[in-house]
Amino acid sequence: MTELNISTAAGVFDAIVAGPPEGRPVLLLHGFPQTGLAWQRQIAALAAHGYRVLAPNQRGYSPGVRPERPEGYHISILVDDVVAMTEELGWATFDLVGHDWGGAVAWWTADAHPGRVRTLTVVSTPHPGALADSLRTDENQRDRSRYMIDWRETPATEDDMLANDAEKLRSIYAGRIPQAGVDAYIRHLSQPGALTAALNWYRAGRPERAIGVIEVPTLYVWSTQDTAFGPAAAQETGQWVNGPYRFEALQGVSHWIPEEAPETLNHLLLEHLHAHGEYGTTAITPPTDSRIR
């Protein structure tokens, strides 16, 4: 893995890149409160199979693209960032993978640019339409999502999260992420303005338009111990995909799937990519810690 700077009209994105330059391109989008480092195990696995893999620090997480005001983080702008980065890399089409907020950006990108997204893989985050339906009809999901209201409406959220050696921010990872990873995220988000920028994703307001049904081949991976996204939205997500669709529920795994169950996720991801296009150079081996339903 090497570090890469991607210059766009919006600014410079920091990224991790691996795999042969001529390999089939895969873009990995992280969520909150993480960075592109969340995908280390996926980057290694995909690169070993001949894919060209890029995991950027998204808007606000990259110091070179860090608007101060929430309106700089509207979902349409986050989608534009994906397009700008891939155009700068010369990727006419690419496989798109996202987790948490990165999953939301991935859904919206596949909706807005289906001709460019070869396959879609979303981890944890249900389709935004399914989530919106659940928020209207499912008390369980409303309870799970109340934290977002608090983060949007409480000006002191940043100070509260970073107090006492970032005690509350650390608690979000719920002991499910290796300590070295947590420490790296805390160092990154403790930089001046970084946590405010990350929280501005929640404060940016509603999307400017409704999202549609997804037409590209889609893999959705959810986990039974996810505290943010409940079963109602997860199970409804398939109704929002017209293309080939696969849903996998991981038993006993929390929200932090890429780091908690990397072998299982890698196996599913490689199978999905293999099923929808040319493949890399190494055979798929089943995971040793499979938790697939």
Query: Residue 147's CB: how many other CB atoms inside 10 A?
Result: 13
List pLDDT tens digits, range 139-187.
Answer: 999 999 999 888 888 778 999 999 999 999 999 999 999 999 999 999 9
pLDDT averaged over the chain? 94
Band of the pLDDT at 291, cuts 50, 70, 90?
Answer: low
Mean pLDDT across 264-293? 69
Closest CA to 128 of 190, 201, 51, 213: 213
Give the pLDDT confidence score for residue 149 in this predicted structure. 87
Mean pLDDT across 11-32? 97
Mean pLDDT across 285-293? 48
CA distance 107 to 97: 9
- pLDDT for 30 beyond 60: yes
Q: Which amino acid is at 193?
A: G
Strand duo 245-254 + 52-56: pairing: unpaired
Give the pLDDT confidence score for residue 292 in this predicted structure. 53
- pLDDT for 290 beyond 80: no
